[in-house]
Every structure is written in C-alpha cells, then in structure tokens.
Amino acid sequence: MYSYFDNAATTKISEKALNTYIDTANRFFANPSSIHKAGREAKEELERRREECASLLNVNANQIFFTSGATDSISVFFSSLLWHDPGEILISRIEHEAVSSWLKILLHYGWKVTYLKAKKGFVSAEEVKQKLSEETKVVAVMAVNNAIGTIQPIKQISKAIREFEKERRRKILFFSDSVQALGKTELDLNAFDVDGASFSAHKINGPRGIGMLYLKNPSSIRSIAPAGGQERGIRGGTENLAAIASMTEAMRQWHEKKDESIDRIKKYNREIRDALTNLGIKILSPEENTSSYILSVRSTLPSEVFTRMLFDRGICVSSGSACSNNAKGKAEAQLEAMGISHDDASKAIRISFSMDTREEDVDFLIKSFEEIVKNK
C-alpha cells in the first residue's frame, strides 16, 4: 500500500463514485439518443445529472456540456476559434499543456499570441488590462496552477476584460482551465464571469475519461466536430452516462466535505512546510493565495533521484506534471516561467493532496524526507 501524494495528477475513485458508475451502467445502459423507452430513460437520467452538476457549480444546466475530460473540453473550446477570423490571444506562460499546445495551431492559422508574465506564479490583472488591444479576441488564464498551486485573480482579470469590452463595444472570450480549482477552492463561475471553463472528474475522486465544459453563452462557440449532434452539437459522440453519474457523485462528495477537507489539508500542508523548512528544504509554493492541495518544494537532489528514493519507501509524489510525455522537462519550463531558477526547477517535487489524505501519511512523508536528507 502506498502513501499517495500525487493527487494533482489523478485521484483514487471513491467507493460511492465507483458504485454509482456500476449501478448506472446496469440500469441505464441504453443510448440516450435512442427514441425507445430505454433510450428515453437514459436521456432523462443524463439530463438529471446535468442539472445536478450545474446546481453544484451554481450555473444553469444549459451551460454544462459533458466531454471525455478537461483536455477534451479545452480542445472543443480552442478548436472552435478556427471558425473565427484570426486575432490576438492573451495567454499566461504557466498554462497546462492541454491549453498551450493549441498555440502552435492558432499561430499556423494566423493568430497572434501575446504572453502574460507570471511572476512567482501569479498573473497580474493590471498586466492583462495593459495588454488588451484592438486585436484581442481571447484571454486564457488558468484558475489554479497545477505545478505550485497559485490561485489566479480570475475575478479581477475578468473585470478588466469586461471594462475593456464595454469601452470598445466588442466581445472578448475569457477561458479558464479550472481543473485544480474544483472542490478545492471557492469556485463561483458566476462571480468569475468567464466565458468558458474546463473540469475533470479524476482530479476529485471520480472516474477517468469524463469531464465538463462550461460555456456562459453556448452560442459563442461553434464546434468543428459536431458528429451526431450530441451535447447540442458542441461535443459529438454518445454520452458516457455511467461516468457522468459517477462524476456527479464525486462532485457531491467534494461539495459536502469541502470546508472540512480544506481545513484539514491546510493543516497537513502547514505541517509539511514547517518540517521540510527545518530540514533546509526550500518551499517553492507561495504562502498566500495558493491552494493547500498543491505543495511544490526544492529537494536536495535531482528530482528524479529524490522521487525514486521516496517511492522505494512507498511514497508517491511527482517531479512534474504527469499528464504528458517528458513531464519533468515541461514542468521545469513551467516553473522557470515563474522566475524559479533552473537549479530549483530541476530539483522540484510536487506533493499534492486529496480528501483521502490521512495524518499518518503526512507523518510518514515527513519521516521519509528526514531520513533521505540526513543520510544522503
């Protein structure tokens, strides 16, 4: 059995979410697009789950679209830009690769890319305000950074965009990858006033292969692959109803336990920060305006060596984002974009928590760090 601290990469599906998946797969196995009774029942369950997800996010059901995950949600949104005449996209330098990988495609089709700095992991709303121009059509800033957990000032950025829109009388789309925010921060999409946001179930103890795309105004985008017209033509393909139901259950669990979990994880984060600081280990995640669920530290050895030594003791952490090939190199580039030195970035380890994290796991992690540092 492992002490698992790589929850920003994926979490273990909860028992309730797993049982919901199995039950739904057995009861509602028909295609929701079929017109017979079994199909209609599946469709009713699909829409009931959509209503529940929307309620948990405090938005309308017609603003929620089910996808195969956050990467899919991001692709649906950004691929729709290919229908538009090229313009400028303002984007932070610390976006997840699921977002930043679209830049090469947009550049190919004539778009202009302007980067936003992220000093110490934070994007400045003032810089966004300064860089908005007559060419700007899209702004993309993640809600919570996946490498060090910094919480971005989404409300302030949105305010700057909306004021610019009002002055110039034209629309700018604001997209926020919100994967690491769901269930772990005060997430209010209405207050955020974003035009699009992406979510993934497997980051909150739900199943893999399912996620959501939030669209404030669904008519603002046009899918390049509507296929069979499912999800009102935004994302084609037969809906994975069992996974949708399971995700809804996972969201409900996180919603019900959010306050208790946040307080408990803050305590664990603090304990690890203090213990590792006493060992001479540098903390890379800022103290303020940072999700307690992600803690990035500079180890005393190259990160791949230190993570292997921890794994030999039964502890799972990450030396980079686990969502891509060459994860370590890409994570280092992301950290360096924040102003973190190459040496610190090459030794960075990400410790990430979930509502399953236990006190005994924290104690074991601290003890293991102590043994490695003192015996290296």
Structure tokens at 270: 């603090």
Q: Which residues fall within 8 angstroms of residue 243, CB to CB, at 6 or more apart?
A: 21, 201, 206, 207, 209, 210
Burial letters for 130-148: b for 16+ Cβ neighbours within 10 Å, e otherwise?
Answer: ebbeeebbbbbbbbbbbbb
Chain centroid to CA 342: how far? 25
Interacting residues of 74 by C-beta distance below 8 A, sequence separation 6+? 98, 99, 102, 177, 198
Residue 323 annotated to the active site: yes
CA angle 50, 179, 195 (to 5 degrees): 65
104 alpha carbon, distance to own chain's centre = 21
Catalytic residue among 243, 323, 351, 372: 323
Q: CA 338 to CA 366: how far, in whole Å?
A: 27
Within the chain, strands assigned E span: 3-4, 64-67, 88-92, 112-116, 136-140, 173-177, 196-200, 211-215, 282-283, 294-298, 315-316, 348-352
Going 129 to 101 to 150 to 342, the CA torsion angle's sign is: negative
Place of tokens 């529940």: 52
Contacts with 63 (C-beta within 8 Å, 6 or more apart), sequence order: 54, 214, 215, 216, 218
Which residues are tagged catalytic? 323
